[in-house]
Structure 1
């Protein structure tokens, strides 16, 4: 699997290992990877196709998180080709909600090449399109601990905020169980939430105020560029936030329940389970 140390991949590794699956994790530096017991770490870098091909040798299924930005879309499709050449039979791709919708802007195309390659591959494929992760609010930690407002980039735009643990559980099912081939699962939480809604929930859980501050698009773009984003990447992200701000991502589905047989976790559940991340020191 790729993305083994990321938000979804790290939890997916834990779940697969707990279910007794034989798992191989692709990483650029196996010596530094902190993986669950029994997980095999192998070296691989998307910029070195031979290393990826070697890592895929003998694998029967692949979980892929390949797109890093607008300059990496071709690598996503190339990974599908490498998987097929290596004899992999099943691929589960972590994509993004709204992929293929022109209204999303450039970011809506970043996963499209990989999705199209999968559909044309002849492999058993499943595509996961999660909404905004509850864990995105971890970036508010410093502001919350210091009592300053958290940035609001999407205004009154609501989203079906999803717990990453649910996404990982769905991925595990798609990798290990039948019935998901040719399916696109759009994964959301059970309710629509704005940034202000999430801040209010955190305030309730933490027992102290959590306020928000609207961040205009121009200032947000400046911050992105200062942080090292390319202009193309920054503009793609900004178009996505504008899409959310105008209500484009106000989507709730029943896909988590359909796959897992239970309701998706709420943002409040996620916040209570991760409250220590916002604790004052």
Structure 2
């Protein structure tokens, strides 16, 4: 049995669906099982990071755990509680979703949110893998209201570029780490194949929508308000160009990232009816037909998705 925490979130949900598609016994942890909407055959259990008793019940009998904790100052406490429960239950493998820049003092407080959790996983005595993804492609859905209204999208990072990555790429690496012991003791930095800035993303959106999409740099006060509201932080991090984009995804899955340049721009997302999902369409074990990333609707993923010898 494999336990997936954060199972109704963007990454956790993709991990659950990919495991279920492979026929793996999967248990999904969520605060509200009645609203989980996960594939049939998945055991859905109620749990709360702040409730040790619920974590003890959720980890009973599991052999591996995918740890997803909400970003913020409480992440260390939640990660430690999950690791403690998992090891007490005899889990032999832990895969933690962390963040790019963890441990880098130049990133600001963001860089410390997952530091204690990573340490807890590494010192747990279990086989471990840490995943440090770059900017989530799904973050662009936060621009929805501005794009629909024809207003410029908020830009916290100026001309800084990051290797935007789609959730299915992250999930594929997580599944590989949960199932393949060859990934034990590894820390993977996960990016898409192209470093792109917010103005660059806006330009791609404009080309998809056929109309201008501008950006507006936030003032320091506006940035602090945004970060306090969204991520409980007031210290903006630094976004820089991502070296070696896509290399860890390739190393872990033997496939190049499907998040090819511009593929996160979905006309059914920020400007339309919402994200296009692939519920129940995760890739089979034989690596046959590839599902699209949750943000892909531009037709740019075919040639960009290739097997690595």
TM-score (norm 1): 0.90
State how far apart, in whole Å, the 2-side matches of 1:262 and 1:83 are.
Answer: 30
Matched, 1:266 2:260: yes
Matches within 5 A, 1:198-213: 198-213=201-216
List structure 1 segments (4+ residues) > 2 angstroms apart after TM superposition: 222-225, 249-253, 278-281
Of 207, 220, 224 in structure 2, the residue corresponding to residue 221 of structure 1 is 224
Structure 1 residue 80, shift from structure 2 partner? 0.8
Matched, 1:152 2:144: no
Structure 1 residue 100, shift from structure 2 partner? 0.7
Q: 8 Å contact 1:105–1:239 — kept in the other structure?
A: yes
Contiguous gaps of at least 5 residues in structure 1: none
Matches within 5 A, 1:1-281: 1-225=4-228, 227=229, 233-235=232-234, 238-240=235-237, 243-244=238-239, 247=240, 250-253=242-245, 254-264=247-257, 265-271=259-265, 274-280=266-272
What is the number of equivalent residue pairs in this alignment?
268
Q: What SS is found at the alignment partner of 1:239?
A: coil
State how far apart, in whole Å, the 2-side matches of 1:222 and 1:55 are.
Answer: 36
Q: 8 Å contact 1:25–1:40 — kept in the other structure?
A: yes
Greater helix fraction, Structure 1 or Structure 2: 1
Q: 8 Å contact 2:249–2:255 — kept in the other structure?
A: yes
TM-score (norm 2): 0.83
State how far apart, in whole Å, the 2-side matches of 1:101 and 1:228 are.
Answer: 21
C-alpha RMSD of matched pairs (Å): 1.6
Contiguous gaps of at least 5 residues in structure 2: 274-309
Structure 1 residue 54, shift from structure 2 partner? 0.7
Q: 8 Å contact 2:227–2:236 — kept in the other structure?
A: no
